[in-house]
Structure 1
């Protein structure tokens, strides 16, 4: 579990500590230098970064070719930028990553809650999925209009979150329509990249 003092110092103030804890538990990484590269339903293995500089090199190598998420909150790098050189290494600073990641999730959570019309527990689960895919109700959620902090947000039930956690499909299992939709949405890059480009460079890391 993430340190409570770190949440108080760094997390978006519109979210309660309980929401932040559940958010990071659901989508986050324990490694502040983690870089996740995904295209479609595939997550590509990339080398582990040992410094912010190495992590930034991974971002620069793959941003624009696939979905790139980084750090404790798995923040989707590339939102609102026109040049990948605009991405700064401070996205790997633990406090800053929590700050920008929770701010983005708070925006998503408010959008989803407004759609429901009331702070129901289901809104949290849908907000988590929207943060992971970038889409909610068929729309790109990261650039949706923020309803503002007047929207009341429900605090999730940890037990319910665990029960609703996605389970990896095993070979031969019946496909889950919700997972299929998630995979389709994952294929769409947060910065509108063309996923049809050559990803052989990414795949090469599997052989190293």
Structure 2
């Protein structure tokens, strides 16, 4: 799948390392920002491909309370946090906003799985953590828990220590944070090397 690397860097939630973002979008997402996937149980419901953002949003609204609907670059679960289809935000089909929302939610899923593994520090276990996090993203479940509605466990202490060990810019040269997430310790990056995965889907 071909993805816009610059768009991922610009729009992805800063709580995730770029390597995790790339693997997440490549394996769990879609290169089509208007992609709408509808599932009922184990069955995929075929829908006409959307050619405009309006058509994509209309498809989501048509199916969202009747089936599991995923949308956009990150295949974001469209029904999360809404009670009625009228509450759906057009941002779902905006590439940058979809990446922002999708990576933020996947970041929580990643941290849930990472904590279950005991906040490991070994690089060898990271591919398995990612595989399980991707499976949890696709199913909405991990070890019997609904990951999208589960509380965010926050950043592990080990990951925080690794982040603090990275040399910091002096106040005179450090760029000002653009938003609150840039200084929120619960949204700090987990630094892992996933280069050895090779893009293999779970």
TM-score by length of 1: 0.74
Residue aligning to 2:137: 131
Residue aligning to 2:32: 31
Instruction: Determine if contact 2:38/2:45 at 8 Å carries over to the other structure.
Output: yes
Residue aligning to 2:173: none
Q: How does 1:38-187 map to 2 (within 5 A)?
A: 38-119=39-120, 120-121=125-126, 122-150=128-156, 152=159, 153=190, 154-159=192-197, 161-162=199-200, 165-166=201-202
Instruction: Determine if contact 1:32/1:94 at 8 Å carries over to the other structure.
Output: yes
Deviation track 1:145-179 (CA, whole Å, cap 9, x = no partner) reads 111134634443453551xx35xxxxxxxxxxxxx
Q: In structure 1, how many angstroms separate the alpha carbons of the residues matched to 2:83 and 2:136?
A: 23
Q: In structure 1, how many angstroms separate the alpha carbons of the residues matched to 2:151 and 2:33?
A: 29
Instruction: Determine if contact 1:22/1:158 at 8 Å carries over to the other structure.
Output: no
Moved more, 148-157 or 42-51: 148-157
Q: C-alpha displacement at 1:124, in angstroms?
A: 0.9
Q: In structure 2, how many angstroms separate the alpha carbons of the residues matched to 1:109 and 1:15?
A: 9
Q: In structure 1, how many angstroms separate the alpha carbons of the residues matched to 2:73 and 2:198?
A: 22
Instruction: Determine if contact 2:119/2:156 at 8 Å carries over to the other structure.
Output: no
SS of the counterpart of 1:103? Answer: helix
SS of the counterpart of 1:159? Answer: coil
Q: In structure 2, how many angstroms separate the alpha carbons of the residues matched to 1:137 and 1:161?
A: 24
SS of the counterpart of 1:23? Answer: helix
Q: In structure 1, how many angstroms separate the alpha carbons of the residues matched to 2:95 and 2:151?
A: 27
Q: In structure 1, how many angstroms separate the alpha carbons of the residues matched to 2:5 and 2:60?
A: 29
Q: In structure 2, how many angstroms separate the alpha carbons of the residues matched to 1:5 and 1:126?
A: 27
Q: In structure 1, how many angstroms separate the alpha carbons of the residues matched to 2:196 and 2:47?
A: 31
RMSD of aligned Cα (Å): 1.5
Q: C-alpha displacement at 1:2, in angstroms?
A: 2.3
Q: How does 1:181-200 map to 2 (within 5 A)?
A: none
Q: In structure 2, how many angstroms separate the alpha carbons of the residues matched to 1:110 and 1:143?
A: 13
| Structure 1 pair 155–81 and aligned structure 2 pair: CA distance change class (3 A) | farther
Matched, 1:10 2:11: yes
